[in-house]
Amino acid sequence: MTAPLAAPGGLFDRLREACRPAWNAYVDHEFVCRLGAGTLPEKAFRRYLGQDYLFLIHYARAWALATVKSSTLAEMRSANASVKAILDVEMGLHVAFCRDWGLSEADMEALPEAEATMAYTRYVLERGLQGDLLDLVVALAPCALGYAEIGERLKGQAVGANPYRAWIEMYAGDEFREAARATADEVDRLWATRANSGRFAELAGTFDRACRLEAAFWQMGLDA
């Protein structure tokens, strides 16, 4: 039996339940469902892929900000490991994957940012700049955990000649799943060491907003 992505009763688990409508709108978005069924228009997927490349650049910047917000060397190393994973592994996989769809790295880097991309990435960076490390990691968490949940669910649905099977398998893979679990564990650890119950409502607001921006990112692709 596959272990849960997040510890039951931990902060991430509580935030997901408190923000269930926004979470479900994100992980069950029409873009995701049609991707799993293999019926998503190629134009929509290509639009998403190009913007996701730009998103990953800012996602790495946000984790780099986490090193500045860290209080201990262990926290700095954890944040730095995330930056390296994005820049050295995930972006390389993304570029290789996009190459198969006729999108070069130079082409993607030259793309103008969509409004949905700007709204989401700037919101995450703003929460990190205004708040502490916990605020930042909570804003980042829906991306990692949501994609892992989506990948796991779609892996069992993608049958036959689904053109998006490789994308699904990438986010359903053990490497991405372990990275997602590490993010959930970090959220729980920071809650235990840096927070009190009075902060939950504010953190839930951050989490909810991030989920809604994730859903808007899918919609941006679908609208193409």
Give the residue numbers annotated as catalytic, written as ranges.
Answer: 143, 214
Burial of 4 (0-12, 13-18, 19+ CB in 10 A): exposed
DSSP assigned state of 160: S
Q: CA 175 from chain center: how many Å?
A: 14
**Is residue 15 within 8 Å of residue 190, measured between CB atoms?**
no
CA distance 222 to 103: 18
CA distance 108 to 16: 32
- Token pair for residue 152? 């796991």
CA distance 179 to 224: 30
CA distance 197 to 26: 26
**Is residue 101 within 8 Å of residue 49, measured between CB atoms?**
yes
Q: How far apart are the first and last CA of the chain?
A: 38
